[in-house]
């Protein structure tokens, strides 16, 4: 019931948003996604090798992002702090589809004074998701200001900014739903956030453009799938 409704919302959302930046494949050629449009690209992310874990599982694999062979475009990555080691977190994350991302994103914000159970991991994870989204939003806004970028890239970035912009409020409502022990609202808010991330991915896919935020988006997607998994399967109010 609730899940079906969310899925329906997801599809409607995507269709509406995609039309905002899709374009005929014929004008792909005149759109250099200038490599320097991502100033803080591959800098100091120590965990980069983790990437062979491939967070974007089978469904949204790399095909949509395939950059033109002669001009590979860089993708920005999140700055993620090193985290501690917590057996309880390993166990919770191990039950999700993205155990490595789960530990990597959440462990930096745990400490010995936090009881590590699914509910607290979920709460911390939602805060992490807000911070990561703000980082992605700031980057999208910054790239948009680059006068060199094409109108199509600009309209994709606009769709992404608008969608990232919805996420912090969605996360606040998710945290409120936790306080109110409103499980269905919690699930709906998190699904809505996941949809926002997917919408940003989809516009680039449809527009045949390589997204400068594609690595960030796949990290956010992994995090939201982890959060939804914890919320749906592990949290009992």
CB of 175 to ligand NAG, least distance (A): 12
| Single residue of 127, 151, 172, 237 touching ligand NAG by CB under 6 A | 127
Supply 124's token pair: 């911390």
| Single residue of 34, 131, 150, 154 touching ligand NAG by CB under 6 A | 131
Long-range Cβ contact pairs of 154-160 (< 8 A, separation 24 or more): 155/20, 155/21, 155/203, 155/207, 156/21, 156/203, 156/204, 156/207, 156/209, 156/211, 158/20, 158/21, 159/17, 159/20, 159/21, 159/199, 159/200, 159/203, 160/136, 160/199, 160/200, 160/203, 160/211, 160/213
User: Which candidate, 101, 121, 134, places its Cα nearest to that of 223?
Assistant: 101
Distances in whole angstroms, Cα of residue 214 to Cα of each of 77, 177, 201, 207:
9, 30, 7, 14
Any contact of residue 13 with ligand NAG (CB under 6 A)? no
Q: Based on CB atoms, which residue is closest to ligand NAG, 17 or 124?
A: 124
Q: Based on CB atoms, which residue is closest to ligand NAG, 152 or 188?
A: 188
CB of 189 to ligand NAG, least distance (A): 9
Q: What angle do CA 199, 204, 208 make, to 5 degrees?
A: 145
Q: Based on CB atoms, which residue is closest to ligand NAG, 45 or 182?
A: 182
Considering CB under 6 A, how many residues would be counted as binding ligand NAG? Answer: 10
Q: Scan residues 158-187 and list those touching ligand NAG (CB under 6 A).
A: 182, 185
User: Using CB under 6 A, which of the segments 106-114, 139-147, 203-211, 223-231 binds ligand NAG?
Assistant: 106-114
CB of 237 to ligand NAG, least distance (A): 9
Binding residues for ligand NAG, rule: CB under 6 A, are: 109, 111, 113-114, 124, 127-128, 131, 182, 185
């Amino acid at each position: 019931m609730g899940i079906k409704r969310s899925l329906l919302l997801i599809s409607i959302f995507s269709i509406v948003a995609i039309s905002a930046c899709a374009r005929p494949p014929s004008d792909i050629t005149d759109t250099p996604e200038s490599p320097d449009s991502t100033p803080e690209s591959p800098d100091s992310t120590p965990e980069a090798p983790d990437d062979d874990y491939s967070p974007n599982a089978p469904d949204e694999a790399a095909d949509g992002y395939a950059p033109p062979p002669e001009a590979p475009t860089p993708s920005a990555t999140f700055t993620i702090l090193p985290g501690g080691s917590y057996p309880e977190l390993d166990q919770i994350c191990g039950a999700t589809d993205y155990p490595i991302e789960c530990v990597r994103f959440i462990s930096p914000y745990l400490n010995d004074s936090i009881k590590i159970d699914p509910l607290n991991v979920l709460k911390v994870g939602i805060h992490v998701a807000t911070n990561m989204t703000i980082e992605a939003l700031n980057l999208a806004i910054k790239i948009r200001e680059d006068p060199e970028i094409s109108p199509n890239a600009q309209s994709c970035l606009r769709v992404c900014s608008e969608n990232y912009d919805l996420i912090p409020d969605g996360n606040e409502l998710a945290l409120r739903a936790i306080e109110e022990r409103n499980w269905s609202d919690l699930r709906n808010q998190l699904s809505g956030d996941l949809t926002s991330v997917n919408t940003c991915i989809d516009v680039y896919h449809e527009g045949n453009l390589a997204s400068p935020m594609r690595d960030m988006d796949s990290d956010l997607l992994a995090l939201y799938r982890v959060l939804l998994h914890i919320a749906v399967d592990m949290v009992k109010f």
